[in-house]
Amino acid sequence: MTPAGWGTDAALALVLGAAFGVGVWSLLALAPRWGAPSLARRIAPYVRDVTDPRGATPWGSSSDPAGILVGGASAVWGSARDRFGSALGGSETIARRLTQAGWTIDVPAFRGRQLAWALVGIALGGLLLVGLALAGTLTATGVLVPPVFAVGGFVLCDARLTHASRARVARIEDELPTVLEFLALCLAAGESLLDSLRRIGSVGAGELTLEMRTAVLAVSTGSSLSDSMGALAHRLQVPALTRAIDHLVAAIDRGAPLALVLQAQATDAREEAKRGLIERAGRKEIYMLIPLVFLILPLSVLFAVFPGVFMLRLGVG
């Protein structure tokens, strides 16, 4: 039998076996003994404070077969996720990007998401491989499809986080001059710095004002204003915001007029935003040359040269 025939038989066996397994599992799940919740699961919400104060066993007791299966699967997944994360490393960079993106998940959860995306890529690659085998077009290089899809899923998940963090940092940088000017206006009107921050957090609706609310909440729970603002700068690690907070903390420690300091920082932030806009405009001009050079110019040359070539072939003129 040829290799193509072996591949077709293996693909058919895989498809039929998967269909049989899904059918059997569906029938077992619909059976009353398997599908009905156990007694422990039914009474757990009412006695959880006595039997399980931490809520660590939501699927019932150890005698519940479904609970054993789910607990075992969770343990295996957690172990695989931890091994995957330790093999890749870079937890500090991932944590910084998660904070900048505003995502509430931690680093192990994100590593688990990356692992899930890689597994989904392997599954899609396997389905494509089975389709190629059934169509009779499977080649030796087809075995590389699942690994390539797995790497693509991993890279796509990481690229999604990078895009989200960069977009949120850009929004924070755009909001910074307005927030600093409003803060300077509140201070010039006679309010204290903490009251000004509370006012900004109450009337604002952007990403930076949300972080300001977090800093004000930290002050309300016992932290000092300098420490909470320093923690805000360290958490986000936005250069313009870090410089503004450093100058603000230095002005608080030395007793300098805060309104003037914030107004100067707002002016600097405006100038930096203007420089960034000019730089982005310069890059966009370069990007605009791509369709001009590779699309419009060749078409113009083609429209100018083709009629003459056509006439020369006809022997006219």
Highest mean pLDDT among 14-28, 43-57, 287-301: 287-301
**pLDDT at res. 60:** 43
8 falls in which pLDDT band (50, 70, 90)? Answer: low
Q: Is 269 exposed, middle or buried (0-12, 13-18, 19+ CB in 10 A)?
A: buried
Asked whether residue 163 is assigned to any structural domain, the reply reads no
CATH of the domain at 235: 1.20.81
Total number of domains constituting the chain? 1
Asked whether residue 25 is assigned to any structural domain, the reply reads no
**pLDDT at res. 67:** 53
The boundaries of the domain holding residue 202 are 175-274
Asked whether residue 255 is assigned to any structural domain, the reply reads yes
Integer angstrom CA distances of residue 153 from 7, 74, 124, 254: 25, 22, 10, 52
Asked whether residue 266 is assigned to any structural domain, the reply reads yes
How much is the pTM?
Answer: 0.70
CA 81 to CA 6: how far, in whole Å? 35
Asked whether residue 214 is assigned to any structural domain, the reply reads yes
pLDDT at 48 over 70: no
CA 52 to CA 143: how far, in whole Å? 48
**pLDDT at res. 21:** 81
Asked whether residue 245 is assigned to any structural domain, the reply reads yes
Q: Which residue has the higher pLDDT, 154 or 302?
A: 154
**pLDDT at res. 118:** 92
**pLDDT tens for each residue of 161-200:** 999 999 999 999 888 888 888 888 888 888 888 888 888 8
**pLDDT tens for each residue of 217-240:** 989 888 888 889 889 998 888 888
Asked whether residue 296 is assigned to any structural domain, the reply reads no
Taking CB atoms within 8 Å and a gap of at least 24, the contacts of 259-268 are 259/184, 259/187, 259/188, 260/184, 262/180, 262/181, 262/183, 262/184, 262/187, 263/180, 263/181, 263/184, 265/180, 266/177, 266/180, 266/181, 266/184, 268/243
Asked whether residue 82 is assigned to any structural domain, the reply reads no
